Structure 1
Amino acid sequence: MTGTGEGPLNETRLDTAGTPPSATAGPGTGPIPLPVDRPGLLDLPADFRLLRSDLPVAPLAFPDGPPGWLVTRYDDVRAGLADPRLSSRRPHLNSHVRASLITSEEMTALRPSDLLTSDPPEHTRLRRLVTGQFTARRINQLAPRIQAIVDEHCDALASGPRPADLITALALPVPSLVISELLGVPFADRALYQRLTAELLSLERTREQLLDSKAEMKAYLLGLVQARRTAPADDLLSGLVQAQSTGTPLTDDEIAALAQLILIAGHETTANVTGLAVFHLLRPPRLWDALQQRPDLIDGVIEETLRIATVLQFGLLRVAAEPLTIAGRPIRAGDRVVLHLPAANQDPARFADAGRFDPERLNAGRHLSFGHGPHHCPGDQLARVELRILLTTMLRRFPDLRLAGDPQNIRAHRTRVVHGLVELPVDFTP
C-alpha cells in the first residue's frame, strides 16, 4: 500500500477550465487554480518551482466553494500533516481539483468515516484495528508468499508474447494478489475490483456513474463481510468481523469503508510506483544496467521513485479546525488547506538537485509520499517489501529488459487521482 498517506478517493470532478495565472503573482492577487499540467511524463507542473520560492502558502481557487490555500514547501507540508488543527474530517474529498458531485448525506450513506476522513479519537480507534496486519513481523512472514507470486508472474511474462506491457503482466497483478490474500478479497474477483478502482479514481465520471460505482463497491465489500461472518479465514476482513463479535464498536459499513481504502491503496498505488520505477531505470541513461552491478542500490531506487514520482499527484486536503499560521500566513478556522506532497518532495531546500533521479541520494527516505504523523500510511513497509522483491527478481530474470519503443511515446494517466503509466511496453531476450 504505497504512496497514499491514506490518500484520497474520487468524489468530485476535474475542473480544467481557464488558464492558471503565473505563480509569481504576489499576495495581493487573486487565488490561482491548482497547477496540473506536466511539461513531461515525470515532471511536476513548472509553477510549483515558483510557488515554493515566492508564494509557499498560495491562495488557491477551488472549483466550488470559497478559495483556500496551497502549501508547497517541505517543512510546511510535513508540519501540516502532523498538526491536529488541520482536520481530515470534511464533507467532500479532492474539491481542490474537481467540483463536488455528491452531497454530504450521500457520502455518509455510501461510506462512513474511515482512516482517510477521520480525526482522533475516531481515527485512533479505526487505525488500531488494522495496524496489526502491517507489523514488521507480519510483513516478514508474507515475504516468501510475495516472492512466490512474483516468480509465478515472471514465469508467465518470460513465456508470453513480446513485447509485453509490464503494467498488466506484472506491476498490477502482483500487488493485487498480495492485498487480496491479506485482506480476504478473492483474487478471482480482480477484474471487478480493478474496474471499480479505476472508476473511483477517475476524474471523468458523471455524478450518476460515480454513485453507481460507489454503491457497487460497497455492496460487493458488504457481501464479503457477511461471507467472513459465516466462514472466517486468516485475513484482515475476518479479523475485523471477529473484533465486532468481541464487543469492539465497529459497524459493517465501517468495515467495508476500511476494506475499500486498503484494497485500493494496496494494489493501485504499488502498481504505479513499480511502473514508474522501472521506467526511470530503463530510459536513458539506462540505470537498469548500473543496478545489475550495484544491487545494493535497490532500496535507494525505491525511495527515490517514491520521492520524485509521488503518485498522490494532487496533494492532501485538510480543513482548519481552528485558526493557525503556516509560514507566516494566517489561516482561518474553516479554511481548506492543500498539502502538496509532490511539490514538497521536490523542494530543493530539503533535497539537493531535487528534480534529478538519484538512487544514491542519502536522504531520499525522508520523502512524504506515505504521509506523516497520525495519518502515516500503515502499509508503507508492505509496499517497500513488494517493490524490493519485484525489482530484485526482475533484475535477475530479465537482465536485458528494455523499453519497446520511444520513451517519449509512453503516456501517463492525466485524469486520475493516482499518477502512473497507462502502459509500459518492454522487451527482453527469453
Structure 2
Amino acid sequence: MTTTLESLPEYPAPRAKGCPFDPSPEIRGLQKTAPLTRIKLWDGSTPWLVTRHEDVRALLSDRRVSADPTRDGYPSSSPAMVARRTQARTFISMDDPDHARLRRMVTAPFAIKRIEALRPAVQRVVDQLLDDLLAGPKPVDLVQAFALPVPSLVICELLGVPYADHGFFQENSRLLVKRDAGPAESVAAQQRLIGYLDDLIGRKLAEPADDLLSDLAARRVRTGELTRRDAAAMGMLLLVAGHETTANMIALGTAALLRHPDQLTALRETDDPKLVAGAVEELLRYLTIVHMGRRRVALDDIEYGGETIRAGEGIVLAGEVGNRDPAVFADPDKLDITRDARRHVAFGVHQCLGQPLARVELQVAYSTLFRRIPALSLATGIDELPFKHDGQVYGVYELPVTW
C-alpha cells in the first residue's frame, strides 16, 4: 500500500475531549502500531516521529542527530520559530562543542548544591504569595496570583532582572511560546527582550551586582568571550525558560491533583520530602508540558527500528508519548505519586540546566499550597479551563480556584 502525504498522521494532533492531561490518542496509538513513522507537519514536511521511551532516550543521546534549527531538514514547530531561528541563537539550539562551551558559562549558579541552598528563599517567596492570596478575594486566578510569580520572582533574583519589569517580559515571553503567533510579532517580541537585556547588561558592566547577568558581563563580555548581544540572548533563554515552564507546571500540576483527590490527599498529608520529590517526578512524567516533541535533524544515515533515517531528514521525539510507554511505566495513564518516575524524559536525557531549580520550586510550591489551603478547589468545571493547546509549552491560561 502506497503512503501518501494525505494519509500521514498530522502532528501535533488534538487531545481527546474530556482528557486534557493525556496525549493525543491518535499519536499515542502509533506507539503500538508504528513507533517510528512519518508524520505531516504544518509546512507539509514529513519528518520521522519517535514514540517509544527507549527510542526517544537513545536518539536524544545520539551524536548523529543535531539540535541546530538552521540546518536543512530541521522540523520547525511553527512559522514563528522559522522566523526567529537565525535572529538570536543560544546554546540550547547548538551542538557540541559550542553547546558545551557556552553552557559552561552559566552552569555554576544552577548547580544542585547552590540551588538547594536557595530552598529557604523559595519557601519565603511561596509563603508571601500565599499570605497575599489568602488575604484577598476569592475565587482567584491561581496562575496570576501564584503559579506565574513564584518562578518569576526567583529567576529575576538569580539573574538580576528587576521584578518590577515582570509585565514586560512575561507578555513578550508569551508571544515566544505561542504556536500560532505571527512571525513578525514573534520576532519583534524576541528583539524587545534582547534589547531590554542588552541594556541591562550594559548597566551591569558599569555597576555590577551579585547576580548571573553581572557575572556574564564581567567575566564574558568584558573579556570579549561573548558579545553583549550574545550575552543578552543567553539571558533571554534563561529568563523565559526560567519562568514559563515552571509556571505552567505549577498550574497544570495543581489542576491535575485537584482532578485526582486521592493523590492530592496523599501529598498534602505527608511530611516525607522523598514522597514530595517523587510526586514532582510523577507529575513531570504524567503531564510532560513540552507536548510538541523535541525536534532534531539527522546528520548521517541512521538505521533504526527497521527503517533508515536519512541524513538531512527531520526527527520529532515525542516525549509526551514516551512518558506513557507501558514497557517502562506500569499503568502509565494513572497518576500515582508513589511511582518511581525518575526515568521520565520530561527534561530530555541530559542534565537540563534549569532542572534543579524547577524541582525545588515545584516541591515547595505543591507541598506548601495544599498544606496551607487544604480546602483548595476549582471554581469552575475542568472542561471550562482554557488549556494551552496552542502553546509550545502546555498549561492553562487561567486556573480559577476557591476554598
Q: d(CA) in 1 for partners of 2:210 and 2:400?
A: 37
**Is 1:64–1:95's contact at 8 Å kept on the other side of the alignment?**
no
**Is 1:402–1:426's contact at 8 Å kept on the other side of the alignment?**
yes
Aligned-residue offset at 1:230: 0.8
1:58 and 2:37 correspond:
yes
1:14 aligns with: none
Q: Give the partner amino acid of 1:410.
A: L
**Is 2:115–2:357's contact at 8 Å kept on the other side of the alignment?**
yes
**Is 2:74–2:313's contact at 8 Å kept on the other side of the alignment?**
no
Q: d(CA) in 1 for partners of 2:221 and 2:277?
A: 41
Q: Percent identity?
A: 39
Q: Give the partner amino acid of 1:98.
A: S
1:17 aligns with: none
1:371 and 2:348 correspond:
yes
Aligned-residue offset at 1:231: 1.0
2:389 aligns with: 414
Please state whether the residue corresponding to 2:200 is helix, strand or coil.
Answer: helix
Please state whether the residue corresponding to 2:28 is helix, strand or coil.
Answer: helix
Q: d(CA) in 1 for partners of 2:302 and 2:122?
A: 45
Please state whether the residue corresponding to 2:38 is helix, strand or coil.
Answer: strand
Aligned-residue offset at 1:284: 4.5
1:98 and 2:78 correspond:
yes
* Unmatched runs of 5 consecutive residues or more in structure 2: none
**Is 1:163–1:425's contact at 8 Å kept on the other side of the alignment?**
yes
Aligned partner (choices 279, 282, 297) of residue 255 of structure 2: 279
Aligned-residue offset at 1:100: 6.0
**Is 1:304–1:361's contact at 8 Å kept on the other side of the alignment?**
yes
2:339 aligns with: 361
**Is 1:347–1:354's contact at 8 Å kept on the other side of the alignment?**
yes
List aligned pairs for 1:106-125, cutoff 5 A.
Answer: 107-108=85-86, 110-111=87-88, 113-125=89-101
2:183 aligns with: 207
Aligned partner (choices 37, 50, 53) of residue 71 of structure 1: 50
Deviation track 1:98-154 (CA, whole Å, cap 9, x = no partner) reads: 246755xx743x30x312211111001111011111112211221121111111101
RMSD across aligned C-alpha pairs, in angstroms? Answer: 2.0
List aligned pairs for 1:329-344, cutoff 5 A.
Answer: 329-344=307-322
1:219 aligns with: 195
1:400 aligns with: 375
Moved more, 392-401 or 281-290: 281-290
Aligned-residue offset at 1:29: 5.2
**Is 1:61–1:96's contact at 8 Å kept on the other side of the alignment?**
no
Rate the CA distance shift 1:42–1:213 in 2: closer, same or farther, 3 A. same
Please state whether the residue corresponding to 2:289 is helix, strand or coil.
Answer: coil
Aligned-residue offset at 1:94: 8.2
1:327 and 2:305 correspond:
yes
Aligned-residue offset at 1:352: 0.9
Count of aligned residue pairs for this structure pair: 396
Aligned-residue offset at 1:425: 1.4
* Unmatched runs of 5 consecutive residues or more in structure 1: 1-25
2:288 aligns with: 310
Aligned-residue offset at 1:421: 1.1
Aligned-residue offset at 1:291: 2.5
Aligned-residue offset at 1:65: 6.2
Q: TM-score, normalised by structure 2?
A: 0.93
1:13 aligns with: none
Q: Give the partner amino acid of 1:341.
A: G
Q: TM-score, normalised by structure 1?
A: 0.87
**Is 1:273–1:420's contact at 8 Å kept on the other side of the alignment?**
yes
Q: d(CA) in 2 for partners of 1:144 and 1:67?
A: 48
1:38 aligns with: 15
Aligned-residue offset at 1:347: 0.9
2:277 aligns with: 299
Please state whether the residue corresponding to 2:339 is helix, strand or coil.
Answer: coil
1:352 and 2:330 correspond:
yes
Q: Give the partner amino acid of 2:342.
A: G
Q: d(CA) in 2 for partners of 1:295 and 1:405?
A: 30
Q: d(CA) in 1 for partners of 2:210 and 2:401?
A: 37
2:133 aligns with: 157
Please state whether the residue corresponding to 2:107 is helix, strand or coil.
Answer: helix
Rate the CA distance shift 1:148–1:94 in 2: closer, same or farther, 3 A. farther
Aligned partner (choices 382, 391, 410) of residue 357 of structure 2: 382
Aligned-residue offset at 1:36: 2.4
Q: Give the partner amino acid of 1:41.
A: P
Deviation track 1:227-283 (CA, whole Å, cap 9, x = no partner) reads: 111111111111111222574622222211111111111101101111122112212
Rate the CA distance shift 1:282–1:32 in 2: closer, same or farther, 3 A. closer
Moved more, 330-339 or 204-213: 204-213
Aligned-residue offset at 1:392: 2.0
1:252 aligns with: 228
Please state whether the residue corresponding to 2:93 is helix, strand or coil.
Answer: coil
